[in-house]
Amino acid sequence: MKLQILLTLILQVALAESLRERYGYFGDTITLPSEADKTWTIASVVWSIFSNNTWIATFNKGVKNEQWTSRYKGRISLNTSSGDLTIRNLTTEDNMEYTVDLLNTVGQNSADKIKLTVRQRLQKPTIETVTSSSVKGGCWLFLRCLSADKDVNLSWQSEHSNVTVNTGQPDGNTSVLFTFLKTTQNCVNFTCTSSNKNENASSDITLKCDDQKPTPHPDSVQPRERNAVAFFLGGMLGGGLIAILLYFFGGKLFPSVENNVV
Ligand SMILES: *[C@@H]1O[C@H](CO)[C@@H](O)[C@H](O)[C@H]1NC(C)=O
Ligand SMILES: *[C@@H]1O[C@H](CO)[C@@H](O)[C@H](O)[C@H]1NC(C)=O
Ligand SMILES: *[C@@H]1O[C@H](CO)[C@@H](O)[C@H](O)[C@H]1NC(C)=O
Ligand SMILES: *[C@@H]1O[C@H](CO)[C@@H](O)[C@H](O)[C@H]1NC(C)=O
């Protein structure tokens, strides 16, 4: 029986703990709930931080003060009816535990702690045209997608069906797409999406064969191009690419594609 009570207590504590975490994004606004009983009329609220309980926002005897510290200056609002604290323009320095102490008009009090975690939003990935080469009836394209974020998955989406994607990311957050476009095709859209378990961010590029001018800085592009090709070949080795290339250099590139060119 005692054990059961103990377990129930532990469970309740665990549940309460899990409710007291809030996640916000850098630059966004978040409201930290006071968890005050909805039936209460609040007489006094104190929001504080750090182990020495530095006050950041208070309401007492009808007087609200949100200017106790400079770190939240102009960024916090205390709702005196709910006791909730709103923090605007979040920064990673706001990552910490917040304590709220409440007192209602009939003298009941409550205290709660909320852990706030501020995350950086995922950045849009960058798409580069690594290399392209025009051939009869179309062009080959190598696109590379890079992300500045760590631990993300990169994926390609396109309405164009003839796309080979190398999902391997040998040098970190990179994904390569290899495709053949017909000259008759107008503006094909390629999207690269960077995602983690919480969110995603996408960039896209629209290309057609005529667009494939060499990248402006041939000096810097040269090694990259070689790397990308080597990396792609590496990824595809054992697959059908060699066969395709042989076929291609044998002058018999995709007879069906050529047949379709008017
Ligand atoms: C409370 O703690 C913080 C951080 O540890 C410190 O910066 C601040 O000066 C302390 N305030 C007082 C009144 O001791
Ligand atoms: C304060 O909280 C109450 C109750 O949750 C809500 O109805 C009200 O809109 C809030 N006021 C502001 C200014 O957000
Ligand atoms: C894809 O390639 C095949 C042959 O390789 C061709 O018949 C087909 O038209 C191509 N589809 C598109 C959308 O380019
Ligand atoms: C990524 O975006 C799509 C479309 O907006 C959405 O359906 C999906 O849930 C998102 N994935 C994550 C992990 O946020």
Tens of pLDDT along 56-114? 999 999 999 999 999 999 999 999 999 999 999 999 999 999 999 999 999 999 999 99
Is the confidence at residue 37, as pLDDT, over 80? yes
| DSSP-based helix, strand, coil % in the chain, nearest 5 | 25, 40, 35
Ligand 1 site residues (CB inside 6 A) read 50, 52, 54
Compute the half-sphere exposure of residue 129: CA atoms within 13 Å on the CB side of its CA. 23
- Chain-wide mean pLDDT for the chain? 77
Q: What is the DSSP letter of 148?
A: S
Q: Between 100 and 240, name the one with better pLDDT.
A: 100
Please name the helix (run of DSSP H) or strand (run of DSSP E) that holds residue 227, with its range, or none: helix 218-236
Specify the amino acid at residue 186: N
| Ligand 3 centre distance from Cα of residue 181 (Å) | 9
Please report the pLDDT score of residue 251 as a whole number.
38
How far is Cα 48 from Cα 66, in angstroms, rounded to an integer?
11
E strand segments, 35-168: 42-49, 54-60, 63-65, 76-78, 85-87, 96-104, 109-119, 126-135, 138-146, 153-158, 163-166
Lowest mean pLDDT among 11-20, 88-97, 242-251: 242-251
Tens of pLDDT along 149-204? 888 888 888 887 767 776 555 556 788 888 888 877 778 889 999 998 888 999 99
| Ligand 1 centre distance from Cα of residue 54 (Å) | 7
Q: Between 112 and 16, name the one with better pLDDT.
A: 112
| Ligand 2 centre distance from Cα of residue 101 (Å) | 18
In whole angstroms, how far apart are CA 186 and each of 159, 160, 181? 12, 11, 9
How far is Cα 119 from Cα 96, in angstroms, rounded to an integer?
12
123 lines ligand 2 (CB under 6 A): no
Q: Summarize the confidence of residues 23-33 as an average pLDDT.
A: 95
Q: What is the DSSP letter of 167?
A: -
79 lines ligand 2 (CB under 6 A): yes
Least distant ligand from the CA of 83: 2
| Ligand 2 centre distance from Cα of residue 80 (Å) | 8
Which of 135, 141, 159, 162 for mutating ligand 3's site (highest number of atoms within 8 Å of CB)?
162
